[in-house]
Each structure stands twice: as structure tokens, then as C-alpha cells.
Structure 1
């Protein structure tokens, strides 16, 4: 069974150029999840995370992990092709 959500909705993101935003949509498919990133300025961007560890779509994004070794930390979102 495919889960309905993986918990990405609402996560804070930032781009390599410093734009801040959040994940506003999460589509879970068989072997992938597609995330819509909505920056505070500019158009939405999309990243698809693949089950094999790869990714497609926009690059240069990070997401804010609330507790990475006990403190907040910006983690790359997908491979940064």
C-alpha cells in the first residue's frame, strides 16, 4: 500500500540563491514522491525524490530538519545535480 503522506508538507526550504519558502504539496507515487516548493518570491518549483536515492527537477534546495543531532540543520533536498 502506498502511504498518503510522508510528512513533507509545511517543511521550510531555502534555495541556493537564498530564497526561503515551504513545501506546499506532496504527491506520493510508487517509488517516488514529488514535492512542490513554494518560495516567498518567485514561481513554484518541483523536486521528485526517487526511491533509488536519486532525484529530478529543481536543484539547489535544502530543507530545515528540526532536530539533526539535536539541533536544526539545513539538509540538501535530493541530489544536487
Structure 2
């Protein structure tokens, strides 16, 4: 068991370290973003198709949207 005072200390340290670390990471290693509109549109079309066609397994609809999202990111 962890005491409540230790939990508060851990949260306070996290609130101090995480935002500063995130900002420093962004400043020192900026992201290289190259947007290709055709790829985004193709993934959107694929996501719409998958959302419109659920699989029925034992009467329960199953969507594969999570797998499409995983492929996009």
C-alpha cells in the first residue's frame, strides 16, 4: 500500500516534470510533418467503408475501426 501523502507527492512531481519534459522534447526535436492528402483521403475512405460494414459474429456486430486507426497512426 502507498500512503496518500506519497501519492500526492508522486502526482506533484509528475505535474512538474511531464509538461516541462514535453515542451523541451518539442523544442529540441521538432516533429517532421509531411502531409500527403491522397493518403489521408484513402484512409478516410477505408474507415468509412469499415464503419458501414460490420461483421456479425454470434449476433453481435464487430467493427474493425480500431485496426484502421492503428494503421493510420
Give the TM-score of the pair, scaled to structure 2: 0.24
Instruction: Kindly indicate which of the two structures has a greater share of residues assigned to strand.
Output: 1
Instruction: Kindly indicate which of the two structures has a greater share of residues assigned to helix.
Output: 2
Does 1 or 2 have the higher relative contact order (CA < 8 Å, sep 6+)? 1
Give the TM-score of the pair, scaled to structure 1: 0.23
